[in-house]
Amino acid sequence: MAAPDRLSKFRERLELPLIAAPMFLVSGVDLVTAACTSGVIGSFPTVNCRSTEQLDDWISAIEQRTQAHADKSGRRAAPWCPNLIVHRSNARLADDLTVLLAHKPEIVITSVGSPEPVIKPLHDAGAMVLADVASIRHAERAAAAGADGLVLLTAGAGGQTGWLNPFSFARAVRKFYDGVIVLAGGISDGVALRAATALGCDLAYMGTKFIATEESLADPRYKAMVVSSSADDILLTKAFTGLQTNMLRPSIVAAGLDPDDLPERGAIDIGKDIDVGAREQRPKRWRDIWSAGHSASGVGGVVNVAELVQRTADEFRSAA
C-alpha cells in the first residue's frame, strides 16, 4: 500500500520536499522569495523583523514578488512560511499573529512551546500548523494539541537543537503520528533528503547551506566561516542561550573566548550588570557568535539559492 501524500495540495509547486529553514538574523525577504520561486518552502522567524509593522511589510513584499514570478513563469511559487515563537517571553506574539491571520499563510511553524493557543485561529485562517519538537514527549503533546505536522529537531541541527538520533526519532514518531513529519538536522544534500523520505518524513529542513547563499542576511564573514568549516567545527553548548545550541567554534575563538572552557548554561553575553558602553563592545550571540549545523561539511562555497536548489534536486533524483 502506497504511503499517503500529505503534501498533495502543494505537490505541483514543489521542486523538492524541502523547507529552507527559518534562521535567526539570516532568513529575510530575499532568501525566502528566492527559495519559494525555486520550488522549496521558504521560511523565516517573525522576530527577524524589528517590529510588527515591518513583519507586515516583509510579508507584503514576499507576496508581491512570488506573485510576479507566477505571472511571468505561469507556475505558482512554493509556499512562504513564517515561524512564530509561541513562548510567553515573545511580547509580540499576539500582534504578530494578527498580521499572519490577515495575510493567511498556507503554512506556519511554531517554536518554543505548545502550539495549542494559536492552532485554532491559524486553522480558521486556512494555515497548516507545523510544531517544533525535540523529544518524543514533545511530539506526543504537539500531536494531541492538533498540530498538522511536527518538525523533529535532531542532533546536528544548527542553532537551538534537539539531541536525539534522527533515524530513531523519525521512526519512533511515525509509529504513533500520521501527520506531516519534517526532519531537521544534518540535511546537507539531496542524498540526505532522499534518506529522510525513506525514513517516512514528508519534508526536511535545510538550513546551514542556505546561510552561505547570496540572498541570505548573514554577514559575509559568517558565510565564509560556514564554507571553511566542517562538522568538527560545530560545538554543542548551553553557554550562550541556556539551551543546547550548535555554534561555530571559530566564531567563539574570534570573539576572544575559549570554546573548550566556557561557563555553563547561558552565562555568556547577558550583560545586565555592566555599563552600556562595555555591553556594546561585548561579543553578542547570533551577531558575533554564529550558529551552524553538522551539515557545514557539505558547504562548498557561496552560491545563489536557485543554484543550490537545482544542485540538490539533481542529487535527490540521482539517489532514487
Tens-place pLDDT, residues 283-314: 566 678 999 999 999 899 999 999 999 999 99
Look at the chain and count its residues: 320
pLDDT at residue 147 is higher than 90: yes
pLDDT for the residue numbered 145: 96
Question: How far apart (Å, rounded) are the C-alpha atoms in residues 133 and 313?
Answer: 27
Lowest mean pLDDT among 9-18, 77-86, 221-230, 280-289: 280-289
C-alpha count within 13 angstroms, C-beta hemisphere, residue 301 = 4
Per domain, the residue ranges of the chain are 13-217+299-318, 230-281
Residue 280 banded pLDDT, cuts 50, 70, 90: very low
SS3 content of the chain, % helix, strand, coil (to 5): 40, 15, 40
Other Cβ atoms less than 10 A from the Cβ of 30: the count is 18
Partner residues linked to 181 by β-bridges: 150
How many angstroms separate the Cα of 319 from the Cα of each of 207, 238, 316?
21, 36, 5
pLDDT for the residue numbered 285: 61
116-123: long-range contacts at Cβ-Cβ below 8 A with a sequence spacing of 24 or more? 116/145, 116/146, 117/86, 118/84, 118/86, 119/145, 119/146, 119/147, 121/97, 122/97
Which residue type does 296 have?
A: A
Which helix (H) or strand (E) element contains residue 167?
helix 166-176
Which three cell numbers, joined as nine digits, stand for 291? 550558529
Nearest to 58 by CA among 88, 12, 22, 11: 22
For 229-273, the pLDDT digits (tens) are 999 999 999 988 888 899 999 999 999 999 999 877 665 543 333
At the fourth CATH level, the homologous superfamily of domain 13-217+299-318 is Aldolase class I (3.20.20.70)
Residue 89 banded pLDDT, cuts 50, 70, 90: confident
Mean pLDDT across the stretch 186-206? 97
Partner residues linked to 236 by β-bridges: 246
For 155-180, the pLDDT digits (tens) are 999 988 889 999 999 999 999 999 99
pLDDT for the residue numbered 288: 84
Nearest to 170 by CA among 149, 189, 188, 144: 149
Question: How far apart (Å, rounded) are the C-alpha atoms in residues 25 and 32?
Answer: 13
Q: Is the Cβ–Cβ distance between 40 and 16 less than 8 Å?
A: yes
* Rg of the chain over all Cα atoms, to the nearest angstrom: 19
pLDDT at residue 19 is higher than 70: yes
Q: Is the Cβ–Cβ distance between 159 and 192 less than 8 Å?
A: no
For 98-133, the pLDDT digits (tens) are 999 999 999 999 999 899 999 999 999 999 999 999
Q: Of all residues in the chain, what percent carry a pLDDT higher than 70?
A: 92
Question: How far apart (Å, rounded) are the C-alpha atoms in residues 309 and 124?
Answer: 32
